[in-house]
C-alpha cells in the first residue's frame, strides 16, 4: 500500500494529512505547437488546479504560462533549471484560504513549440478535506472559510464546471 504526503509545512506551520493511503501521484506531458495566429486559439483554458501540489517543469525558451493577479494576466517567464510550484484547490481549503490556488492559463505562441511536464499530488478519492484545525483555531473557528467535503465529490463538481 502506498502512503502519500503525510505532512505539509507552510512556514512554521505543519499540517498533518490523515488517511492518505489512496493518494495519487501523476504526470502530464503537454505539447503546445507554434501558432501563426495565437489570438484565434487557446493553448489551455484558464483554470485552477483541483488537487494538492503541482510541480511544473516548463520549457526554458518558449513562454505562454500566465497567472491572474489583481485582474491582470501576468506572464510567468520560462527560466532554465527551475520548477514552478502550483498550489491546488485542496491546499487552499486545508490552509483555510491562507494560501491561494491561482487561476492560470497557457496562451499560444508564434515563436516555437512549448513543452511542459506537470507532476502532481492529489488526495485519495475518499479523503475528507477541510481546513486544518490548527489554522482555523489560529484564525477563529467562526472564520472557517471552507466546509468539510469528500475529494471525489469535489472532483465531480470540478469536472462539471470545466
39, 131 contact by CB (below 8 A): no
Residue 69, C-alpha cell as written in the block: 493577479
28 is catalytic: yes
Catalytic one among 16, 28, 69, 137? 28
Catalytic one among 37, 39, 42, 49? 49
Measure the CA–CA gap between 47 and 137, rounded to whole angstroms: 30
φ and ψ at 104, to 5 degrees?
-145, 165
Catalytic one among 37, 61, 69, 104? 104
104 is catalytic: yes
Catalytic one among 16, 47, 69, 137? 47
The catalytic residue positions are 28, 47, 49, 104
Amino acid at each position: 500500500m502506498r502512503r502519500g504526503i503525510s505532512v505539509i509545512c507552510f512556514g512554521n506551520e505543519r499540517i498533518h494529512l490523515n488517511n492518505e493511503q489512496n493518494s495519487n501521484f501523476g504526470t502530464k506531458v503537454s505539447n503546445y505547437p507554434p501558432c501563426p495566429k495565437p489570438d484565434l486559439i487557446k493553448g489551455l483554458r484558464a483554470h485552477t488546479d483541483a488537487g494538492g501540489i503541482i510541480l511544473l517543469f516548463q520549457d526554458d525558451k518558449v513562454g505562454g504560462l500566465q497567472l491572474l493577479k489583481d485582474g491582470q494576466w501576468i506572464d510567468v517567464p520560462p527560466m532554465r533549471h527551475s520548477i514552478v510550484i502550483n498550489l491546488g484547490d485542496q491546499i487552499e481549503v486545508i490552509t483555510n484560504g491562507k494560501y491561494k490556488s491561482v487561476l492560470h492559463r497557457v496562451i499560444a505562441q508564434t515563436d516555437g513549440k512549448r513543452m511542459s511536464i506537470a507532476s502532481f499530488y492529489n488526495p485519495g478519492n475518499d479523503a475528507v478535506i477541510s481546513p486544518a484545525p490548527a489554522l482555523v483555531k489560529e484564525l477563529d473557528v467562526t472564520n472557517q472559510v471552507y466546509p468539510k467535503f469528500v475529494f471525489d465529490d469535489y472532483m465531480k463538481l470540478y469536472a462539471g464546471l470545466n
